[in-house]
């Protein structure tokens, strides 16, 4: 869960292809955050997640664009994923290709996890963040991953993408019309989850969608190479940052420790042990984030009762008491002052 986990630089090079203005802005932004622009053109170059946050923040401040994640995702075909993409393209069916991608997704984007579910009549790709990142960066990546998943399915099926449903946890973006105009065959839902995530459901049997480039020998070569790369990859990181980010991004209520542990494919006890090792606990993180969200919502003019219910309190008096203990004064005073 390390904020300085490194991710492939090649994906952010795609920003330069959006427009000439953005290409110039990207180069200037890279200089300002201390990254050599030529780094993005190196196939195996990696950059820290914290630098990605800085880069996207810089571009947001200097360019009036909200659709960068949408644009970058549109450009990311399976070919963009190096050996993982090579394995996907040489798979026999769409089902096999997506299983391969899920197995080695840490090589595609280490800061996110991918889970693939296959059923007789549909397939479902689910993506969740594994590291803490800024709100702006999170929104960018969720949009980019959603659009990239759609592009992959379209490319792998030779342009015969079956009907799909795309669920994004982010609110409706300012560029909503682009979704309506360019994804007419996709049912898109925003704020579809209370935790940061992307879900793409393919409304057709993935096992019956055969790929034209299937080559079992090439697939074995790709798998051997990916297995070797995974062995070299470092997982590690800070779980507390990820838990805090996930709690902060929820729309209403707060997920439980058990729910967050399930997202990480570990037991509640294991997550508790990791957090304890980092000098904190789920209860402490939840209390701090809950208070921060409450202060933000009170500052926007919501009443104490509205905030209490939005945070999952059945009785507003319990919220008032918790707020007083942490802040030393009432929610009403914070709202008025």
pLDDT at site 196: 92
What is the sign of the dihedral through the CA atoms of 39, 44, 47 and 52?
positive
Among 193, 200, 185, 214, which residue's Cα sits nearest to residue 148? 200
Radius of gyration of the chain (CA): 21
pLDDT at site 35: 92
What gap in Å lies between CA 141 and CA 197, rounded to an integer? 10
The set of residues, in sequence order, having a beta carbon less than 8 Å from that of 80 and lying 6+ positions away, is 10, 11, 14, 148
pLDDT at site 297: 84
146-172 residue pLDDT tens? 999 999 999 999 989 999 999 999 999
pLDDT for residue 21 is more than 90: no
Using pLDDT thresholds of 50, 70 and 90, give the confidence band for residue 56. very high
Among 269, 280, 199, which residue's Cα sits nearest to residue 242? 280
pLDDT at site 235: 45
What gap in Å lies between CA 326 and CA 291, rounded to an integer? 8
What DSSP designation does 93 have?
Answer: B
Q: What integer best gives the mean pLDDT of the chain? A: 88
pLDDT for residue 30 is more than 70: yes
pLDDT at site 250: 58
pLDDT at site 98: 95
Q: What is the reported pTM? A: 0.73
Using pLDDT thresholds of 50, 70 and 90, give the confidence band for residue 95. very high
Angle between helices 68-75 and 135-156 (to 10 degrees): 30
The set of residues, in sequence order, having a beta carbon less than 8 Å from that of 277 and lying 6+ positions away, is none
Share of the chain above pLDDT 70, in %: 93
The set of residues, in sequence order, having a beta carbon less than 8 Å from that of 227 and lying 6+ positions away, is none
185-211 residue pLDDT tens? 899 999 998 889 999 999 999 999 999
The dihedral region occupied by 191, where left means phi > 0, alpha psi between -120 and 50, and beta the remainder, is left
Share of the chain above pLDDT 90, in %: 51
Alpha helices in 282-330 (DSSP H): 282-299, 304-310, 316-327
pLDDT for residue 62 is more than 90: no
Phi and psi, residue 46, nearest 5°: -125, 145
The DSSP result for 226-253, as a single string, is HHHHHHH------HHHHHHHHHHH-SSS
Phi and psi, residue 329, nearest 5°: -155, 175
Task: Please give the residue that has the higher pLDDT: either 337 or 245.
Answer: 245
Contact 122, 203 (CB under 8 A): yes
Which domains occur in the chain, in start order? Answer: 66-228 (no CATH), 250-336 (1.10.10.60)
pLDDT at site 313: 85
213-252 residue pLDDT tens? 899 999 999 988 888 776 565 344 567 877 887 777 655 5
Using pLDDT thresholds of 50, 70 and 90, give the confidence band for residue 278. confident
103-161 residue pLDDT tens? 888 889 989 988 899 988 999 999 999 888 899 999 999 999 999 999 999 999 998 99
Q: What is the mean pLDDT of residues 264-281?
A: 86
pLDDT at site 252: 57
pLDDT at site 124: 95
């Amino acid at each position: 869960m390390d904020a300085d986990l490194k991710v492939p630089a090649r994906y952010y090079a795609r920003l330069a292809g959006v427009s000439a203005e953005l290409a110039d802005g990207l180069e200037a932004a890279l200089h300002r955050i201390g990254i050599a622009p030529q780094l993005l053109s190196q196939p195996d170059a990696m950059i820290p997640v914290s630098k990605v946050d800085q880069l996207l923040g810089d571009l947001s401040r200097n360019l009036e664009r909200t659709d960068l994640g949408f644009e970058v995702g549109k450009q990311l075909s399976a070919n963009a994923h190096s050996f993982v993409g090579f394995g996907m393209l040489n798979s026999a069916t769409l089902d096999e290709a997506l299983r391969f991608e899920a197995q080695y997704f840490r090589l595609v984007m280490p800061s996110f996890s991918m889970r693939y579910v296959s059923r007789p009549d549909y397939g479902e790709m689910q993506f969740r963040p594994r590291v803490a990142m800024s709100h702006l960066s999170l929104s960018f990546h969720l949009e980019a991953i959603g659009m990239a998943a759609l592009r992959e399915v379209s490319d792998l099926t030779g342009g015969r993408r079956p009907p799909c449903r795309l669920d994004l946890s982010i609110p409706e973006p300012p560029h909503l019309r682009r979704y309506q105009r360019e994804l007419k065959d996709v049912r898109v839902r925003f704020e579809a989850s209370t935790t940061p995530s992307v879900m793409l459901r393919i409304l057709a049997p993935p096992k019956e969608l055969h790929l034209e480039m299937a080559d079992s020998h090439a697939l074995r070569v790709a798998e051997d190479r990916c297995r070797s790369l995974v062995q070299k990859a470092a997982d590690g990181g800070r779980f507390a940052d990820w838990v805090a980010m996930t709690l902060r991004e929820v729309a209403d209520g707060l997920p439980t420790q058990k729910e967050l542990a399930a997202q990480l494919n570990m037991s509640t006890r294991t997550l508790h042990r990791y957090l304890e090792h980092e000098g904190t606990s789920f209860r402490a993180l939840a209390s701090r984030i809950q208070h921060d969200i409450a202060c933000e919502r009170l500052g926007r003019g919501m009443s104490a009762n509205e905030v209490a219910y939005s945070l999952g309190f059945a009785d507003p008096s319990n919220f008032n008491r918790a707020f007083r203990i942490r802040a030393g004064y009432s929610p009403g005073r914070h709202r008025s002052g």
